[in-house]
Chains A and B, each alone.
Chain A
Amino acid sequence: MQISFTLNGRPTTMDVDPATLVAELLRERLNLTGTHIGCDTSQCGACVVHLDGLPVKSCTLLAPALDGATLVTIEGLQGAPGSNRLHPMQEAFRENHGLQCGFCTPGMVMTAVALARDKPGLTEAEVRHGLEGNICRCTGYQNIVLSVMAGADAMHAAKGE
C-alpha cells in the first residue's frame, strides 16, 4: 500500500508492505539507523520516535499508522540540517554525561523531549517514572535523570525567550 507522511519535516510518500514495522521501515528502507532495536517485547524503548508529537515505540507500530501523520526521529531532532547544533535535550545529555555506549540514547532523548515538552519543572520522581519504559544498562540512570531535568529546564527557558 501507499502511505504519505511527514518525516523529519519532509513530505514522504512510499509503497510499503502493511506488515512492516515502523522501526524496520526507518532502519531498512529509509536508512535512518538512529532508531535502535534493543528487544522483541517492547520493553527497552531504544526505538522511541514521535508520532504526531507523542512518544511511541516504533517496534510495535505498523507502517500504515504513519499515513497522514507527522513522524520525528532522533535524526530529525537536531538543529538546522547539516549543522552540529544540538537540541537542548541532546545538549543536556552531553553536558551531564547522560550516555555511555549510546545505544539506548536515541530512545531516551526522544522520550525525554516528549516528557519535558508539556511540563515545566519536572521533579526527579516524575522523570524517573517517565523513563520507566526505557532501559539503560550503562549509566545506572543517575546522569540520565540529571540530563532530563536539565534538558527540560533548558527547553522551557528557550521557549520563554
Chain B
Amino acid sequence: MGNVIGIGAAPKRKEDQRFLTGRGNYVSDIKRPGMTAGVFVRSPHGHAVIRGIDKTAALAAPGVIAVLSGEDVAADGLGSLPCGWGISDAQGVPMKEPPFPMLAQGKARFVGDMVAFVVAETAEQANSAAELLNVDYEVLPSVVGVLEAVRPGAPQLFDDVPNNICCDWELGDKAAVETAFRKAAHVARLSLVNNRLIGNPMEPRAAIAEYEPGTDRHTLWSTSQFPHVVRFLMGALVLNIPQHKLRVVAPDVGGGFGVKQFHYGEEAVITWAARRVMRPVKWVASRSEGYVSDRHGRDHVTEAELALDEHGKFLAFRVKTLANMGGYLSTFGPNIPTNLYGPLLGGVYTTPAIYCNVKVVFTNTVPVDAYRGAGRPEATFVLERIVDVAATEMGIDRVELRRRNMIPKEAYPYQTPVLVQYDSGDPIGCLDGALVAADVKNFGVRKAASARKGKFRGLGYSTYVEACGLAPSRFAGRLGARGGLYESATVRVHPTGQVTVMIGTHNHGQGHETTFAQIVSDKLGVAFENIDIVFGDTDRVQFGMGTYGSRSLVVGGAALSKATDKVIVKGKKIAAHLLEASEMDIQFEAGKFSVAGTDRTKTFEEIAGAAYVPHDYPLEVLEPGLEEQAYYDPVNFTYPGGCHIAEVEVDPETGTVTLVNYTAVDDVGTVINPMIVEGQLHGGIVQGVGQALYENAVYDEGSGQLLSGSLMDYCMPRADHLPMMTVATHSTLCTHTPMGVKGCGEVGTIGSPAAVINAVVDALSHLGVTHVDMPATPNRIWRLLQNASLPVAAE
C-alpha cells in the first residue's frame, strides 16, 4: 500500500518511466494493419492562381493509390475549416471571414498552402509521385508584412476583403483617453515590432486515420492538444461525420505550445482520404514542412503612447496595432491579437483610461494563431517597454515609476478600464521579492566588473498580469467565442478502491498525470500510485476542451475537484447506511468515513467494495457503483502576475548579447506540485528569451518565401545560451477557483521578452539607445553600435 501524496508535495512524475525508456506512444510511433502513407503537395508560391492540376503522371506512378485535390473536396460537398471566434468592429460589423478550404480552391495564399494529397503504399512512393503532380500556377505578387498589406495598391488576397483588413477592432474609451492626453505633463511614444515566431514543439505534427466499414466508424490519431474539439469541428462542420461515428485520439504528444491546439486541414484531409481509399493513412510532417504549415505566432507592428502627470502617474494609454493573420483565419486566429491583447494593456497598473485599436490583416503567410502566451506577451511587451521609455524621458527611476503606478494588494478585486476584473494579486510584493532575489543592490558592482572586460551590462524589469484559465463561457461568448470553455472530469472508483480519472484536458509535457493524481490523493486519501489519469481519447473521456491558455489545472482541476467532492458525498451516504448512522453525522477524513464522536469507521476501500457488491446497501434510494462526473465553467479568468528581472552582457566587438542572470517571482496561486511549476516557469521563460534574442520567422516580401525555413535558419535557444535561472513564487490565492490555483503554463513567456529587451536597452542606454526590436541578434546590436558612432570600448 503506497502513500497519499497531496497538494504541495513534489513527487516524481508518473509519466517519466515510459518517456525515459523510449516507450512513449506518439502518433508517429503508431502502425496500423494495411497502413498507407500520405504526402501533401504544398504551394511553392506565396500567392498564385491554380489554373489546373494534371494528376495523370502522379496517378500512374508506382504504388500510388489516390491523388486528391480541391476539386475532389468540392465534389464531395465538404465544409471549410471553421474559425472558433467571430469578432466585430466598433460598429458591430462582423469580421471578414473568407472560407479556409482544406485543400486550396482556385488560389494558393501562402507558401505551404495545401494543394493536393497523394496516398501511396509507402512514403517514398508518395513523395516520388508528389513530384510528378503537374500544378499549373499563375504566380501573383505576394504581400507578407502588415504595413505593406494595408497600403493602397497592395496585392489583395480575397476579392471581398478590401485592403486585406479582416477586422478593424477596438476596445476602451477613446474620448476619455483623448481628454487625459490633453492634460498630460508628459507623453511617451514608442513604435515597435513584435516579431513573428514559429512554435517548434520538438515532435512534428502527424496524423493517422482509419475507417471501419463494418461499424461506419472513423478514427483519427492526431498530435492535438484538444481531441474533443477536433472531433466537433471536423466531424460536425467539415466532414459531416456524426459525433458518435468519429473517434479522435491524441496519445502522447511531444509538446504543443499552442501549435497543436487548432483544427488543421491535414486532419480533415487524412480522415476523408482514409474513407475513400478504405485503408489507414499516415502522414508525418518533416520539420521544414511544419515551418510552412504549423500556425505561427505574434507578428505585430505597434504604435503606443503613454500619458503621465508631473509625478509620473499614468493617466492614459493608447495603442494602435496591426496584427498579421496570415492567409486564412485559423481556429483562434482573430481572438489572439484582440481579446487576449487589449484587455491586458492595463498590466499591474492603475491606468484609468485605455484605448486600443487593432487592425487584423490578411497576408500571404502561414496563418497566425496562438503561441504560448498568445496576445498577452505582446501586451506586456508594449506596456513594459513604454514604461521604461517614460521613466528615462522623465528622469524617474524605472522601479520607482512602476511602484508609483502599481495596484496595491488591498485594492483587489480591481476593475480595469478594459473589461477584465482582477480578483487577486500583489504586484508590489512580487517586485520587492524579485529585487532581493536578483541582488539588484549589487548590480553596480557587477556592471563595473563587466566594464573592466570591455562589456556593457544591463538590467531589465518586467511586470505582468495575464488572463488565463480559459475561460468563463458566458464572458467569452460576449467577446465572440463560438463554443464553451468549461472542462469535465470523471472520477471512477474501482471496486477495490483504486481510481481512474477521465479528464478532458490534454497532457503534453505539463505533468497532468502527476498533478491531477495529487489532487485526488489529497482529497480521497487514496495512495498516489493507485490513481491513473486518462486523457486524449474521445472514446474513453466523456468530453473536454483540451489544454491551452493555462487552463488545465484551473478549469480541469476544478472539474476534477468537484467530481471528487461528489464521490465523497455518495460515499457518506453508503457509509451512513453501513454504520447505521445519519448521513449528517458521517465525517470523511484521511481516507476514512466515520461517525462523528465515535470510533465506528469504514475505509474508502470498504465503501467502494460495498458500492459494487451491494448486498447490504440502500438500493431503494441509492444507485450502486462509485463513479462521479463534473463539469466546471469558471466565473472569471484567473490573473497570474509577477515580476521578472533580466541581466545581460553585451559584447560591443561582436554585438552578442549574453543573458547572464534571470530572476522571476510569480504569483500563480496555490501550487500543487512545486517541482512541476518550476519546470513550467523555466521553459516558459526560455521561450520568451528565444523571442527576445534569437527567434525570428522571416518572409521575403514579393515572393512570399519563408527565409527562416528550417532549424538551420531559425535560431532556437540551446543549453549553452542560458544561465541558471532563479524562479520563486509569491502567491495570493485565486478567490474563485476551488483550490485557489491560477495557472502557470504561460507566465514565463509573458514576462520575459520585455525583461530581456529592457536589459539590452539599459546596457546600451549610455550610447543613446532607447529601443531595440526583437530579436536582439548580434547583427542588429552591432549595427546599432556602429550607427551610434561612438567608441566601441566600454571605458
Residues of A within 8 A of B (CB): 27, 31-41, 43-44, 46, 73-75, 77-78, 84, 86, 90, 93-95, 97, 99-106, 109, 124-125, 127-129, 131-132, 134-145
Would B710 and A103 count as touching, CB distance under 8 A?
A: no
Query: Contacts A101-B508, A102-B15, A131-B720; is A140 near B686 (CB within 8 Å)?
Result: yes
Chain A residue, CB-CB nearest to B682: A140
Of the candidate stretches B195-203, B292-300, B410-418, the one touching chain A is: B195-203
A94 to B711: give the CA distance in the assembly, Å. Answer: 28
B158 at the A/B interface (Cβ < 8 Å)?
no
Contacts of B257 in A (CB 8 A): 137
Q: List 11 A-B contacts (CB under 8 A).
A: A33-B29, A38-B287, A41-B711, A43-B711, A100-B509, A103-B255, A132-B719, A135-B716, A138-B679, A141-B717, A142-B682
Size range of the interface on B?
Answer: 35 or more
A134 to B717: give the CA distance in the assembly, Å. Answer: 10
Of the candidate stretches B20-28, B141-149, B317-325, B437-445, the one touching chain A is: B20-28
Chain B residue, CB-CB nearest to A84: B17
Query: Contacts A131-B720, A140-B722, A142-B722; is A106 near B200 (CB within 8 Å)?
Result: no
Would B711 and A135 count as touching, CB distance under 8 A?
A: yes
Q: Which of A41, A75, A141 contacts B22 (CB 8 A)?
A: A75
B584 at the A/B interface (Cβ < 8 Å)?
no
Interface of A is mostly: loop
Would B202 and A101 count as touching, CB distance under 8 A?
A: yes
Contacts of A109 in B (CB 8 A): 20
Query: Contacts A38-B204, A44-B202; is A137 near B683 (CB within 8 Å)?
Result: yes
Interface positions, chain B 731-772, Cβ under 8 Å from A, are 748
A40 to B712: give the CA distance in the assembly, Å. Answer: 10
Contacts of B150 in A (CB 8 A): none
Contacts of B16 in A (CB 8 A): 93-94, 99, 102
Would A101 and B509 count as touching, CB distance under 8 A?
A: yes
What is the total of A-B residue contacts with beta carbons within 8 Å? Answer: 179
Would A138 and B255 count as touching, CB distance under 8 A?
A: yes
Would B716 and A139 count as touching, CB distance under 8 A?
A: no
Would B203 and A103 count as touching, CB distance under 8 A?
A: yes
Contacts of A93 in B (CB 8 A): 16, 20
Q: Which of B18, B287, B510 contacts A41 (CB 8 A)?
A: B287
Sample of 17 more A-B contacts, CB < 8 Å, known A102-B20, A102-B254, A129-B719: A35-B22, A36-B203, A73-B22, A74-B21, A90-B21, A93-B20, A97-B676, A99-B20, A101-B19, A101-B256, A137-B201, A138-B683, A139-B682, A140-B687, A142-B722, A143-B679, A144-B719
B253 at the A/B interface (Cβ < 8 Å)?
yes
A-B interface, 8 closest residue pairs, ranked by CB to CB distance from nearest: A34-B22, A102-B19, A103-B254, A101-B509, A140-B686, A100-B509, A140-B682, A74-B22
Interface positions, chain B 673-687, Cβ under 8 Å from A, are 675-676, 678-679, 682-687
Contacts of B22 in A (CB 8 A): 32-35, 73-75, 106
Would A86 and B13 count as touching, CB distance under 8 A?
A: no
Chain A residue, CB-CB nearest to B200: A137
Would A103 and B720 count as touching, CB distance under 8 A?
A: no
Would A40 and B286 count as touching, CB distance under 8 A?
A: yes
Query: Contacts A129-B720, A144-B719; is A137 near B202 (CB within 8 Å)?
Result: yes
B724 at the A/B interface (Cβ < 8 Å)?
yes
A74 to B508: give the CA distance in the assembly, Å. Answer: 20
B537 at the A/B interface (Cβ < 8 Å)?
no
Would A97 and B675 count as touching, CB distance under 8 A?
A: yes
Contacts of A46 in B (CB 8 A): 202
Contacts of A125 in B (CB 8 A): 720
A53 to chain B, nearest CB (A): 19
Contacts of A33 in B (CB 8 A): 22, 26, 28-29
Contacts of A127 in B (CB 8 A): 719
Contacts of A124 in B (CB 8 A): 724
Would A137 and B21 count as touching, CB distance under 8 A?
A: no
B644 to chain A, nearest CB (A): 13
Contacts of B682 in A (CB 8 A): 139-143
A152 to chain B, nearest CB (A): 14
Q: Which of A78, A102, A132 contacts B720 (CB 8 A)?
A: A132
Query: Contacts A131-B718, A141-B719; is A38 near B20 (CB within 8 Å)?
Result: no
B259 to chain A, nearest CB (A): 10
